[in-house]
A and B are shown apart, each in its own frame.
Chain A
Amino acid sequence: MPRLQELYTRYRDQGLKIVAVEASRDTERSKKFIAKKGLSFLLLEDRTEDPVVGGLFGVHAFPTSFILDASGRILYYHLGFDEGDEKKIAGEIRTLLGE
C-alpha cells in the first residue's frame, strides 16, 4: 500500500488515479492503517463474503492490479507487487500518461 501511495504521489498531477479495493475483514484496523500510512488515494471496502467485485474481475489472488485508460479499457494486468513489479507498473503508467 505505501508503494501505491508513492506511485500516486508521483503521478497524480499528470492524471493518475488509484482505486484500491480491499476484501476487508476488519474496518477499524484498516482505518488505522490508512491513517498511519497516510494513504490519500481512493480506498474501497468489499465486505461481501465471497468478494463480489474481485469475482467480477476474475481476481483469484492478491495483490492483483489492472491499469485502465481514460475510456475505462483494461490495458494491463499484473499479479503481485514486488520491487521489480513496481518499476514495471510505473513504466506502464508513464507510457500511458505520455500518449
Chain B
Amino acid sequence: MRSRALLAASVVLVLAGAPACSKKTTPGQTEAKAYKEAKSAYYDAETPEAKAVIAERYLAEFPGGEHAPAFVRVEVENRGTRLGEKQRALDTVRAALQATGDPGRHLEIVLTAYPLAKELDQPLDLTAAIAQVEKERPLSYDENGSIMEVAAKHRQWQLLLQRADAALAQATPEAVRADNPGRKLGPAKLQHKVDGRAAEAMTYKAWALANTGKPEQAEELFAAARKRTPRSFLGLSLVPVALFEGRAALQQGRLDRAMELLAPDAVMGGDSTAMAYLETAWKKKNGSEKGLDDYLHKMRRVLSREAADFTLPDYQGEEHTFSKELGRVTLLAFWFPT
C-alpha cells in the first residue's frame, strides 16, 4: 500500500498547492512562509536545475527544518538523478542531516538519499537512524514501509524480515486509527487500510523468505497477501505482491507462473519494473523477444475492462455523458484541482 499510496501522496503533496505567485525569499521570514513560497516556486519551475536551486535555497536556510525531507527529495531527484551531479546532491543531503535534530526527519532523509549514497559508495547509516527514532518512540507504519522498500532493493534480508514483522503487527484497526488522528475513517476505509498494511507486510516478508532459502513459506505468504490485498478498479493489486511473487517465480525458473503474475501490472498498470521482469521471463522461455508483442497485445485484451459511464458538467455548465464522448482512442484523466 505504502509504495504506491505514498508515491501518490507525494504527487498530491508536491503539486496540489496551486501557485499564487513566486516572490523572492527574504531572510528572517518564518520557515512556514519560506516553505509556502518555495512550494509555489517549485510548482512553476520547469527545469531540473530550477527545481534543484529552489530545494538548495530552502535547505541552506532551514537545513533542519520541518520540510527538509521533502526538499531533500527534490534535490536528490533533480540535482542527483536528472542532472547527474550526484556528489553535489549528496553533500547537500549530508548538510541537512547534520542540522536535523529530529530523529524522524533524520530517518526520512536517510531513506530518501540511501540509494544515492550507496551508489557513491558513501553509505548512510540506516540502522543508527532507526535506533535513534526507537529511543523516542516506535516507528510508524509508513516509516516501516519505507524501510522495507529500501531493504528489499538493497537485499538486506534480516532488516527486511524484522521490519515486515513490525509492520504486520501494525496491520490492525487500532494502529491505523492511531496513525490517522482526527481523521474520520468509516469501517470500509479502515478495513481497506488494514488489509493494505497486512498485504504489504506479508509481501515483503515473503520476498525476504524467498531469498533466504525458504521458498515454501514464501509461497504461502505470497498467496495470503494476494488474497488480502485491496485492488484497483482494474483488478490490480495496490501493493506490489504480484511483482515480488513474479520475481520469486522467475528466480525459481517457473517461467509461466512468473509471466502470469507479472502481466497485469506490466500491461495494464504501466509498471516498467514488472514489464522488465516479464520480458526476462519471456526470453528465458522462448529464447528471444519474438512473439512478445503479440503476447502483450493479447493480454491487454484479456485484462481490459469496460469503463463505467457518468455525466458531468463542463465549465460552461453543459452536461456531457462520457460514453458519447469517445474517440478512436480516449484518454480519461483525473486531475487534481488546479
A: residues with CB less than 8 A from B are 1, 4, 7, 11, 14-27, 29-31, 33-34, 42-46, 52-54, 56-70, 72-81, 85, 88-89, 92-93, 96-97
Distance A15 CA – B174 CA, assembled complex (angstroms): 51
Number of interface residues of B (CB under 8 A): 48
By DSSP majority rule, is chain B's interface helix, strand, loop, or mixed? mixed
B95: shortest Cβ distance to chain A, in Å? Answer: 27
Within 8 A of A (CB), among B134-165: none
Chain B residue at smallest Cβ distance from A36:
B338
Chain B residue at smallest Cβ distance from A17:
B327
Interface presence of B181 (CB below 8 A): no
**In the complex, what residues of B have CB within 8 A of residue A63's CB?**
11, 333-336
- Supply 23 A–B pairs (Cβ within 8 Å), ascending by A: A4-B333, A17-B329, A19-B322, A21-B333, A21-B335, A22-B336, A22-B338, A23-B337, A30-B315, A30-B337, A33-B338, A52-B310, A58-B233, A61-B8, A62-B8, A62-B11, A63-B11, A67-B330, A69-B328, A74-B306, A76-B267, A77-B234, A79-B8
A18: shortest Cβ distance to chain B, in Å? Answer: 5
B275: shortest Cβ distance to chain A, in Å? Answer: 10
**In the complex, what residues of B have CB within 8 A of residue A42's CB?**
314, 320, 325
Q: Are B8 and A68 in touch, CB under 8 angstroms?
A: no
Given contacts A46-B312, A72-B326, whether A18 and B331 have CB atoms under 8 Å apart is yes
Identify which of B234, B300, B329 contacts A70 (C-beta below 8 A). Answer: B329
B287: shortest Cβ distance to chain A, in Å? Answer: 25
B276: shortest Cβ distance to chain A, in Å? Answer: 13
**In the complex, what residues of A have CB within 8 A of residue B306's CB?**
72-74
Within 8 A of A (CB), among B254-287: 267-270, 272
By DSSP majority rule, is chain A's interface helix, strand, loop, or mixed? mixed
A5: shortest Cβ distance to chain B, in Å? Answer: 11
Distance A7 CA – B322 CA, assembled complex (angstroms): 20
Q: Are A44 and B313 in touch, CB under 8 angstroms?
A: yes
Distance A6 CA – B31 CA, assembled complex (angstroms): 37
Q: Are B331 and A89 in touch, CB under 8 angstroms?
A: yes
Interface presence of B23 (CB below 8 A): no
Distance A22 CA – B269 CA, assembled complex (angstroms): 22
A90: shortest Cβ distance to chain B, in Å? Answer: 10
Chain B residue at smallest Cβ distance from A66:
B332
Q: Are B5 and A21 in touch, CB under 8 angstroms?
A: no
Q: Are A64 and B314 in touch, CB under 8 angstroms?
A: no
Given contacts A53-B310, A72-B307, 17 further A-B contacts (CB under 8 A): A15-B329, A21-B335, A22-B336, A45-B312, A52-B310, A56-B233, A58-B234, A60-B232, A62-B335, A62-B336, A63-B333, A64-B334, A68-B307, A68-B329, A76-B300, A78-B269, A93-B331
Within 8 A of A (CB), among B5-60: 5, 7-9, 11-12, 16, 18
**In the complex, what residues of B have CB within 8 A of residue A23's CB?**
334-337
Identify which of A15, A16, A56 contacts B310 (C-beta below 8 A). Answer: A56
